Structure 1
Amino acid sequence: MANGGLAYGPISSYSRVRILHLLFVAASEQGRPERTIGELCEATGLHANTVREHLQRLMEGGYVIQSIERRTTRGRPRTLYTAVTGLPEASSPVAREKVAEAARRGDLLRRMLAEEGSELGRDATYQLDALTEHLEESGFEPIIDEEHLTVELTPCPHAAGAPEHRPMLCQVHLGLMQGVLAQAGGPLKAECVQAPQRPEECTVQLRLLPARAVAA
């Protein structure tokens, strides 16, 4: 098992979780949402080559995008890294393809089972398709309650990890879920992780956005 009790996908390393956390924090701040390899090295204490390897895995998973700095002065432009949030300015081709594939598989399954989509509407159906596949890829077994707008992830596969890592893990997973839902486009947003009563508990609260907010 990897550091911090993680064992799944591109975020199976706690070092990658730390890097993603730094990029999510940067994306939420006013000003510059990008970070350089040098800044990530300084914040994590990791060697530049190690940071590059982690960023490569995160880009392959559709969680991070890179861009080249636009300079108005002389000097070699730096490579910048940004967390994928699903918004137009921070969207990944990999993430877009994953969302589209999830919708196609969801439609196929519904036709096979003669089932309708979510009562919340077509866009929400595709959001839930993408969210379910993302969570399963990350090692969870999600149960979605559309009436109460919750995603039950108990038992959390990270509960056995170091307790001090849990807050950052929860923040990163919530950020990833927010990015997936935004990338899919629709009325649902991941709002928060509910305070657990026991370490193995994990419930994410969704929120249904007003139609005007979705259109904007």
Structure 2
Amino acid sequence: MTVSEESTRGSADPGSPGELLRSAVRRDIVDTLANLPEQRRGRGLSARELGDLVGLHVTTVRFHLTRLVEAGVLISRSERTAGAGRPTKRYLVAPGSLDRLPHEAFRLLATLLTETFGARDQDGRPLSPEEVGIAWAQQHVTRPDEPAPARTAGEWLSTIGHLVDTLQVWGYTPNVRTEDTGRTARIDLIDCPFIDLARAHPEVACGIHRGLIRGTLDALGEHDTEVSLEPFVGPTHCLAHVTTRADFAPRGGNS
């Protein structure tokens, strides 16, 4: 068996690894490869094998694999076995590529601070860390065409899903639970990307992230919410409570 490693770069600009991994599908692909048993991790998987594991058509998987290889997150190798036929292309995580990903969160933080440095409200007062987070979300979160508050528990959960996507961009690994008949979301914010900043200046780090949550909800049409943040319920674990105060439609109807 002969294995040859192909180039990890294409001619097109694929975007940064952090931007590519905003896609849940690509995160699933990378997670699958990164968490293979040690004896299989070094060999990698073919596109067809990955498709079987993540539940996608092989053509869809190949499209995402190409982007991840071009960005340097993955590498591809051609494996030639005995007998006739074309070599099999196998994919594995590029050495050190995942170590670079947390810097995306720091890049976002630097961008946020740069864009809002010296920003003041209408009265000339400097913005608080929470107001800085709100300002960033208002500028960068994609708004729906007609933002409106959720009228059902399902719609509210969809809004929370958009919020979770934003938190993942910032480097968190969020887990979500609901209570109070779906009106409150408890979001476990695991592996804070700014853990050292949060320990030294919790009023800054937690304020920014509370603002990100509140600003994201506002951009999605949820203007009447309660947001609280419990820092360090674990060594690298914070807990956010997000509750909507909007009236839900009666059960059995959406009006």
Q: The TM-score by the shorter chain falls in which range? A: 0.3 to 0.5
TM-score by length of 1: 0.48
Of Structure 1 and Structure 2, which has the larger fraction of its residues in helix? 1
Whichever of the two has the greater Rg, that structure is: 2
Q: Which has the higher contact order (CA 8 A, sep 6+)?
A: 1
